[in-house]
Amino acid sequence: MDRGTVESRLDTLVTENRFTIAVVFPTIGALLLVGSAEGWVPAPLSFEPTLILIGTAVMRLPLIAGVLPLLDRRGTLGVLGLTGYAYGIELIGVQTGLPYGEFWYLIDLGPMLFGNVPVGLPVFFLPLVLNSYLLVILLLGPRAESTSLRLAGTLALVLVMDLVLDPGAVGLGFWAYVDGGGYYGVPSINFLGWVLSGGISVWVFDKILARDLLIERLESCPFMLDDMVSFVILWGGINLHFGQWIPVALAALMGIGLLRTERFDFAVRPQLLNWGRRWR
Protein backbone atom coordinates (compact mmCIF):
# COMPACT_ATOMS: atom_id res chain seq x y z
CA MET A 1 0.00 0.00 0.00
CA ASP A 2 1.55 3.31 -1.07
CA ARG A 3 1.73 6.41 1.10
CA GLY A 4 -1.00 8.22 -0.82
CA THR A 5 -3.46 5.39 -0.17
CA VAL A 6 -2.61 5.36 3.54
CA GLU A 7 -3.14 9.12 3.78
CA SER A 8 -6.45 8.92 1.91
CA ARG A 9 -7.78 6.10 4.10
CA LEU A 10 -6.70 7.88 7.27
CA ASP A 11 -8.45 11.06 6.11
CA THR A 12 -11.63 9.08 5.47
CA LEU A 13 -11.43 7.30 8.83
CA VAL A 14 -11.10 10.57 10.73
CA THR A 15 -13.74 12.39 8.67
CA GLU A 16 -16.31 9.64 9.23
CA ASN A 17 -15.61 9.48 12.98
CA ARG A 18 -14.88 13.09 13.95
CA PHE A 19 -17.43 13.33 16.75
CA THR A 20 -16.43 9.97 18.23
CA ILE A 21 -12.72 10.80 18.18
CA ALA A 22 -12.87 14.45 19.26
CA VAL A 23 -15.77 14.36 21.74
CA VAL A 24 -16.72 10.83 22.82
CA PHE A 25 -13.15 9.58 23.44
CA PRO A 26 -12.03 12.49 25.67
CA THR A 27 -15.33 12.47 27.56
CA ILE A 28 -15.02 8.77 28.36
CA GLY A 29 -11.32 9.27 29.07
CA ALA A 30 -12.02 12.04 31.58
CA LEU A 31 -14.63 9.88 33.32
CA LEU A 32 -12.30 6.87 33.51
CA LEU A 33 -9.34 8.91 34.77
CA VAL A 34 -11.34 10.77 37.40
CA GLY A 35 -13.02 7.49 38.38
CA SER A 36 -9.61 5.86 38.74
CA ALA A 37 -8.31 8.71 40.91
CA GLU A 38 -11.39 8.55 43.13
CA GLY A 39 -11.41 4.76 43.42
CA TRP A 40 -14.66 4.35 41.50
CA VAL A 41 -13.12 2.27 38.68
CA PRO A 42 -12.28 -1.40 39.46
CA ALA A 43 -8.63 -2.41 39.63
CA PRO A 44 -8.24 -4.04 36.20
CA LEU A 45 -9.25 -0.77 34.48
CA SER A 46 -8.01 1.79 37.01
CA PHE A 47 -5.23 3.83 35.36
CA GLU A 48 -4.73 0.95 32.92
CA PRO A 49 -1.59 2.09 31.04
CA THR A 50 -2.45 0.45 27.71
CA LEU A 51 -5.86 2.15 27.68
CA ILE A 52 -4.24 5.51 28.45
CA LEU A 53 -1.77 5.14 25.59
CA ILE A 54 -4.34 3.85 23.08
CA GLY A 55 -6.88 6.50 24.03
CA THR A 56 -4.29 9.25 23.59
CA ALA A 57 -3.20 7.83 20.23
CA VAL A 58 -6.80 7.75 18.98
CA MET A 59 -7.35 11.38 19.95
CA ARG A 60 -4.14 12.27 18.06
CA LEU A 61 -5.42 10.72 14.79
CA PRO A 62 -6.86 13.97 13.37
CA LEU A 63 -3.55 15.76 13.88
CA ILE A 64 -1.56 12.86 12.44
CA ALA A 65 -3.85 12.60 9.41
CA GLY A 66 -3.67 16.35 8.90
CA VAL A 67 0.10 16.70 9.08
CA LEU A 68 1.19 13.43 7.43
CA PRO A 69 0.92 14.71 3.82
CA LEU A 70 3.22 17.62 4.74
CA LEU A 71 6.08 15.49 6.04
CA ASP A 72 8.78 15.10 3.43
CA ARG A 73 12.17 13.58 4.23
CA ARG A 74 13.32 16.75 6.03
CA GLY A 75 10.12 16.94 8.02
CA THR A 76 10.28 13.29 9.03
CA LEU A 77 13.86 13.67 10.21
CA GLY A 78 12.85 16.76 12.15
CA VAL A 79 10.05 14.89 13.94
CA LEU A 80 12.42 12.02 14.72
CA GLY A 81 14.92 14.53 16.10
CA LEU A 82 12.24 16.09 18.31
CA THR A 83 11.23 12.61 19.49
CA GLY A 84 14.79 11.96 20.64
CA TYR A 85 14.92 15.40 22.22
CA ALA A 86 11.67 14.77 24.13
CA TYR A 87 13.03 11.51 25.56
CA GLY A 88 16.36 13.09 26.43
CA ILE A 89 15.06 16.15 28.25
CA GLU A 90 12.48 14.08 30.15
CA LEU A 91 15.14 11.58 31.26
CA ILE A 92 17.34 14.45 32.45
CA GLY A 93 14.35 15.98 34.21
CA VAL A 94 13.47 12.79 36.09
CA GLN A 95 17.08 12.21 37.16
CA THR A 96 18.15 15.78 37.99
CA GLY A 97 14.99 17.82 38.57
CA LEU A 98 15.95 20.15 35.72
CA PRO A 99 14.41 21.85 33.85
CA TYR A 100 10.93 21.01 35.19
CA GLY A 101 11.53 20.69 38.92
CA GLU A 102 12.11 17.50 40.89
CA PHE A 103 9.24 15.09 40.27
CA TRP A 104 8.43 11.43 39.84
CA TYR A 105 5.76 9.44 38.02
CA LEU A 106 3.19 7.85 40.33
CA ILE A 107 1.63 5.60 37.68
CA ASP A 108 2.80 4.05 34.42
CA LEU A 109 1.59 6.00 31.38
CA GLY A 110 2.06 3.01 29.13
CA PRO A 111 5.37 1.12 28.85
CA MET A 112 8.22 2.95 30.61
CA LEU A 113 11.63 3.57 29.04
CA PHE A 114 14.61 3.09 31.40
CA GLY A 115 12.01 2.40 34.07
CA ASN A 116 10.92 6.04 34.50
CA VAL A 117 10.14 7.70 31.13
CA PRO A 118 6.95 6.83 29.22
CA VAL A 119 7.60 5.29 25.80
CA GLY A 120 4.59 7.24 24.56
CA LEU A 121 6.07 10.58 25.70
CA PRO A 122 6.35 12.06 22.16
CA VAL A 123 2.67 11.23 21.59
CA PHE A 124 1.84 13.12 24.80
CA PHE A 125 4.15 16.13 24.31
CA LEU A 126 4.81 16.96 20.65
CA PRO A 127 1.14 17.32 19.65
CA LEU A 128 0.70 20.01 22.32
CA VAL A 129 3.31 22.10 20.53
CA LEU A 130 2.05 21.37 17.03
CA ASN A 131 -1.60 22.02 17.94
CA SER A 132 -0.58 25.37 19.42
CA TYR A 133 1.37 26.23 16.27
CA LEU A 134 -1.60 25.44 14.01
CA LEU A 135 -4.12 27.37 16.10
CA VAL A 136 -1.88 30.44 16.32
CA ILE A 137 -1.42 30.45 12.53
CA LEU A 138 -5.19 30.31 12.05
CA LEU A 139 -5.92 33.01 14.62
CA LEU A 140 -3.18 35.36 13.44
CA GLY A 141 -4.14 35.12 9.77
CA PRO A 142 -1.86 37.37 7.64
CA ARG A 143 0.02 38.46 10.78
CA ALA A 144 1.42 34.90 10.99
CA GLU A 145 3.96 36.02 8.37
CA SER A 146 5.83 37.67 11.24
CA THR A 147 8.27 35.05 12.54
CA SER A 148 8.61 36.64 15.98
CA LEU A 149 4.83 36.98 16.42
CA ARG A 150 4.21 33.44 15.16
CA LEU A 151 6.79 31.83 17.44
CA ALA A 152 6.02 33.96 20.51
CA GLY A 153 2.28 33.34 20.12
CA THR A 154 2.82 29.59 19.81
CA LEU A 155 5.09 29.41 22.84
CA ALA A 156 2.58 31.42 24.89
CA LEU A 157 -0.19 28.99 23.93
CA VAL A 158 2.03 25.99 24.75
CA LEU A 159 2.48 27.44 28.24
CA VAL A 160 -1.27 27.95 28.56
CA MET A 161 -1.78 24.29 27.64
CA ASP A 162 0.64 23.26 30.39
CA LEU A 163 -1.15 25.54 32.86
CA VAL A 164 -4.20 23.40 32.10
CA LEU A 165 -2.54 19.99 31.82
CA ASP A 166 -0.11 19.92 34.74
CA PRO A 167 -2.60 20.73 37.54
CA GLY A 168 -5.00 18.13 36.14
CA ALA A 169 -2.25 15.51 35.98
CA VAL A 170 -1.15 16.26 39.56
CA GLY A 171 -4.77 16.09 40.70
CA LEU A 172 -5.15 12.69 39.08
CA GLY A 173 -1.88 11.45 40.58
CA PHE A 174 -0.06 10.96 37.25
CA TRP A 175 3.04 12.55 38.79
CA ALA A 176 3.99 14.65 41.81
CA TYR A 177 6.59 17.36 42.48
CA VAL A 178 8.86 16.78 45.45
CA ASP A 179 8.46 20.27 46.89
CA GLY A 180 4.96 20.85 45.60
CA GLY A 181 4.19 24.28 44.20
CA GLY A 182 1.95 27.28 44.51
CA TYR A 183 -0.02 26.59 41.34
CA TYR A 184 -2.15 23.57 42.26
CA GLY A 185 0.94 21.63 43.34
CA VAL A 186 3.04 22.66 40.33
CA PRO A 187 6.26 24.69 40.95
CA SER A 188 7.08 27.77 38.88
CA ILE A 189 10.30 26.18 37.61
CA ASN A 190 8.17 23.71 35.66
CA PHE A 191 6.87 26.49 33.45
CA LEU A 192 10.37 27.82 32.87
CA GLY A 193 11.26 24.31 31.74
CA TRP A 194 8.40 24.40 29.27
CA VAL A 195 9.77 27.66 27.85
CA LEU A 196 12.96 25.74 27.05
CA SER A 197 11.49 22.48 25.77
CA GLY A 198 8.51 24.16 24.09
CA GLY A 199 10.60 26.93 22.56
CA ILE A 200 13.01 24.52 20.88
CA SER A 201 10.15 22.35 19.63
CA VAL A 202 8.26 25.35 18.22
CA TRP A 203 11.38 26.53 16.40
CA VAL A 204 11.97 23.09 14.87
CA PHE A 205 8.38 22.72 13.67
CA ASP A 206 8.58 26.19 12.14
CA LYS A 207 11.69 25.15 10.22
CA ILE A 208 10.53 21.75 8.95
CA LEU A 209 6.97 22.60 7.87
CA ALA A 210 6.52 24.62 4.68
CA ARG A 211 4.14 27.33 5.80
CA ASP A 212 2.39 27.86 2.45
CA LEU A 213 1.61 24.14 2.18
CA LEU A 214 0.61 24.03 5.84
CA ILE A 215 -1.88 26.88 5.37
CA GLU A 216 -3.33 25.16 2.28
CA ARG A 217 -3.74 21.96 4.27
CA LEU A 218 -5.36 23.83 7.16
CA GLU A 219 -7.85 25.41 4.78
CA SER A 220 -8.76 22.12 3.10
CA CYS A 221 -8.68 19.83 6.18
CA PRO A 222 -11.47 20.73 8.63
CA PHE A 223 -10.45 18.20 11.28
CA MET A 224 -6.83 19.24 11.67
CA LEU A 225 -7.35 20.82 15.10
CA ASP A 226 -9.80 18.26 16.48
CA ASP A 227 -7.06 16.97 18.78
CA MET A 228 -7.08 20.33 20.57
CA VAL A 229 -10.85 20.02 20.98
CA SER A 230 -10.17 16.69 22.71
CA PHE A 231 -7.59 18.38 24.95
CA VAL A 232 -10.07 21.07 26.05
CA ILE A 233 -12.77 18.50 26.83
CA LEU A 234 -10.44 16.04 28.60
CA TRP A 235 -8.34 18.37 30.74
CA GLY A 236 -11.01 21.01 31.17
CA GLY A 237 -13.33 18.32 32.53
CA ILE A 238 -10.67 16.85 34.83
CA ASN A 239 -9.80 20.26 36.31
CA LEU A 240 -13.50 21.01 36.70
CA HIS A 241 -13.90 17.88 38.83
CA PHE A 242 -11.07 18.98 41.13
CA GLY A 243 -12.40 22.54 41.37
CA GLN A 244 -9.24 23.98 39.83
CA TRP A 245 -10.84 27.07 38.37
CA ILE A 246 -7.89 28.82 36.73
CA PRO A 247 -7.13 25.79 34.50
CA VAL A 248 -10.86 25.49 33.77
CA ALA A 249 -10.99 29.15 32.70
CA LEU A 250 -7.90 28.75 30.53
CA ALA A 251 -9.37 25.64 28.88
CA ALA A 252 -12.56 27.63 28.21
CA LEU A 253 -10.51 30.41 26.60
CA MET A 254 -8.81 27.84 24.37
CA GLY A 255 -12.25 26.55 23.44
CA ILE A 256 -13.32 30.09 22.48
CA GLY A 257 -10.21 30.40 20.33
CA LEU A 258 -11.09 27.17 18.58
CA LEU A 259 -14.67 28.32 18.00
CA ARG A 260 -13.35 31.49 16.37
CA THR A 261 -11.85 29.34 13.63
CA GLU A 262 -15.41 28.21 12.72
CA ARG A 263 -14.28 24.68 11.90
CA PHE A 264 -16.09 22.47 14.39
CA ASP A 265 -19.58 21.46 13.28
CA PHE A 266 -18.35 17.80 13.16
CA ALA A 267 -21.45 16.92 11.08
CA VAL A 268 -22.73 15.95 14.53
CA ARG A 269 -26.24 14.80 13.63
CA PRO A 270 -25.32 12.11 11.08
CA GLN A 271 -22.44 10.91 13.22
CA LEU A 272 -24.67 10.63 16.28
CA LEU A 273 -27.17 8.63 14.23
CA ASN A 274 -24.42 6.31 12.94
CA TRP A 275 -23.01 5.93 16.44
CA GLY A 276 -26.45 5.06 17.76
CA ARG A 277 -26.99 2.41 15.08
CA ARG A 278 -23.79 0.63 16.07
CA TRP A 279 -25.16 0.10 19.58
CA ARG A 280 -28.58 -1.20 18.53
What's the confidence (pLDDT) of residue 7? 93
Instruction: Using the predicted structure, report yes or no on whether residue 274 has a pLDDT greater than 60.
Output: no
Does position 266 have pLDDT exceeding 70, yes or no?
no
179 vs 185: CA distance, rounded Å: 8
The answer, as to whether pTM is greater than 0.85, is yes
CB-based contact 168:237 (threshold 8 Å)? no
Distance CA(172)–CA(176), nearest Å, equals 10
Q: Which class for 1: exposed (0-12), middle (13-18), buried (19 or more C-beta within 10 A)?
A: exposed
CA–centroid distance for 202 within its chain:
14
- Does residue 51 register a pLDDT over 90? yes
Give percent of the chain with pLDDT exceeding 70.
95
Q: What is the mean pLDDT of residues 251-273?
A: 76
CA 159 to chain centre: 12
Q: How far apart are CA 168 and CA 241, in angstroms?
A: 9
Q: Is the pLDDT of residue 269 over 50?
A: no
Residue 185 backbone phi and psi in degrees, to 5:
85, 5
Q: In what helix (H) or strand (E) does residue 118 lie, and over which residues does it extend? A: strand 117-118
pLDDT of res. 110: 86
d(CA 56, CA 32): 13
Residues 134-165 pLDDT 10s: 999 999 999 999 999 999 999 999 999 999 99
Q: What are the residue boundaries of the structural domains of the chain, listed by start?
A: 3-278
